[in-house]
A and B are shown apart, each in its own frame.
Chain A
Amino acid sequence: MTLDREGTEGMDGTSSSARMPGGTSGDHAVSQPARIISVGGGKGGVGKSFVLANMATCLARAGYRVIAVDADLEGANLHTCLGAPTPTASLADFVAQREDDLGKLVFDTPIPGVRMIAGTHANLSEAQPTHLRRVRLMRGLRRLQADFVLLDLGAGVHSAVLDYFLVADEGLVVVSPEPTSLENAYTFLRAAFYRRMRLAMVGHGVRKLVTTAMDQRNESGLRTPLDLLREIESLDGADGARFVQTMREFRPRIVVNNVRTAEDIKLGFAMSSVCRKYFGIDAEYLGYVNQDEDVRLSIAAKTPLVEFRPKSDAAIYLERIARKVAAGRSLSSDKSSTSPVQSRAQSPIQPPIQSTTHTKHTNSPGSGRRF
């Protein structure tokens, strides 16, 4: 595995200081960089775009500037989830180097406060960007004028998909309660884990340690990624410990979509536990969304559910997830109590005010779910 110089710098840098909220990145020290949240999960059809479109809508309602980005160039459909027409310009233009300014690819959606970069492919043969282009893309996304940039990832474990997932400030894994989805989600997490490991190896002098650990695989009975990390940790105190720490900062969060039973709900806890016992990483269970006829109808209506049926169960669960994603970001107080109807009429994009931080305890009936 070789990495070009630029890639090394970009990937390694994001795993430390640039990942911190409020961290500044060189030439961009004045305004806070956009927080990038990627939504993946390995399998197609589990509701990644659906969850993302609704999360974007909720965050925008709460007063954040949101840009949704369809990074699923091979199966782009996020624009449809947001009710936007088939776009003329898309991320494919950036990938194919027809456009270098990501800002020029951003356009408004019918949802107030949500803008997007579409992902319609011009040519499948160029659907995945080169590594260098990916690094440029991630930098460009961070500089967009937004509080949140939500990245819709494609299915599968292509290195581009893994990089988007790893370089984001936060990675969400969406699963639905079926073995096929779990299998793909774990495959995805495993691939992401090892890719992160390779990228982290460049920054620390542990490549040799990893190789040694891998070589001793049979003797020492390494079976899980956790075993491997342990082995590395034991080989060399300082380097090993630092490396393991970097790996432990890999904290995907889990969303279970399409739940029907209490058993399904508990699946998220099981996954979280498996991540701890198998990978040795913390994967928080962020929330679940129930199976709901309204979901189907909202997709048919090309409108995010939280707009289409704001009072439905699933919409309420989606808002809870968005609220957790937003936690830590500042929010203007006047926005926090607006109803969706009011926010439609308002100017969709207003910068959040730094001084006020919303807390859950200020919820009152009627406004309680609107952040």
Chain B
Amino acid sequence: MKALDEQDHYEVLEVQPGAGYEEIERAYRLTRDAYSDGAMGLYSVFSNEDAAVIRGRIDEAYRVLSDPGDRERYDAEVGIKRQEPITPMAAARDFTDASISDREEYEREARVAAAEVATAVEVIEDVDADIDEENQSFDGAALRRSRMRRGVELDQISDVTKVTVKYLRYIEDEAFDRLPAEVYVRGFVSAYARAIGLDARRVANTYMERVEAARAPSKRTSRSASAY
């Protein structure tokens, strides 16, 4: 048990010494977020000054651990031995260097934001979290759950898809009578699904069954049979 000033970089970021690059990246985002200025989670425990000190330590830990060379030197210095080499994080950095259009930038940001919470939330939701996404027919509530799990807000999806928040909300609420013709709804739902990394075709197909069933009451069968 050590005070902050005695903790090593891994302890500061709350990861194991064997943590891979992605894990460190995720831990950094989460802790950085948790100790941001005025963060609610600190209220009444850590002052802004405390938080600033902790942030400084978090940044320093990240700076060292995110650089393969620095990390190796640091590990040697504090006596951490590792069985397997750490895979460098080529992909993420190369991606930011490439020149990308605004739209791709939006999409990337949405994905990063989504991955940030999604990976973190996996910790608390384990395997079953994805079971509905694999087996389930998608209704509005399932879409919202998938979105929430990724930590994505509707306006972020709207930025990426150019579908207004109003319609995205109708889709989640299954306000079928307020949605436009089915051909448009299919397009909206596909875009929504793509934006949060779901299989657009499968989501659209199962969702549209619900729309059709609702709009033609005589054919209403799928609702009660849906997977959950």
Measuring CB to CB, which residues of chain A are less than 8 angstroms from any residue of chain B?
A: 177-179, 182-183, 186-187, 226-227, 229-230, 233, 244, 248, 261-262, 265-271, 273-274, 276-278, 280, 285-288, 290, 311-313, 316, 320, 323-324, 360-361, 363-366, 368-369
Contacts and interface: CB of A to CB of B under 8 A. Distances in A.
B8 to A, nearest CB: 14
B181 interface: no
Contact of A320 (B125, B135, B228): B125
A361 B127 contact: yes
B117 A266 contact: yes
Given A277-B54, A278-B45, 20 more contacts: A182-B40, A182-B43, A226-B3, A244-B1, A265-B121, A267-B40, A267-B41, A268-B124, A269-B30, A269-B34, A269-B120, A273-B30, A273-B41, A274-B42, A277-B4, A313-B144, A324-B124, A363-B131, A368-B128, A368-B131
A368 B128 CA distance: 8
Interface stretch (B60-68, B99-107, B148-156): B148-156
A290 B148 contact: yes
B206 interface: no
B45 A276 contact: no
B41 A233 contact: no
A233 B1 contact: yes
Contact of A266 (B3, B132, B141, B151): B151
A313 B145 contact: yes
In the A-B complex, the 7 residue pairs with the smallest Cβ-Cβ separation, listed nearest first, are A270-B41, A262-B151, A270-B34, A183-B44, A365-B227, A365-B135, A179-B43
B43 to A, nearest CB: 5
A243 to B, nearest CB: 11
B1 A360 contact: no
7 contacts: A182-B40, A182-B44, A269-B30, A270-B40, A273-B35, A313-B148, A368-B135
Contacts, number: 116
Interface of B: 1-4, 14, 30-31, 33-35, 39-46, 54, 113, 117, 120-121, 123-128, 131-132, 135-136, 141, 144-145, 148, 150-153, 227-228
A274 B34 contact: yes
A16 B121 CA distance: 32
Contacts of A313: 141, 144-145, 148
A274 B134 CA distance: 35
A288 B227 CA distance: 23
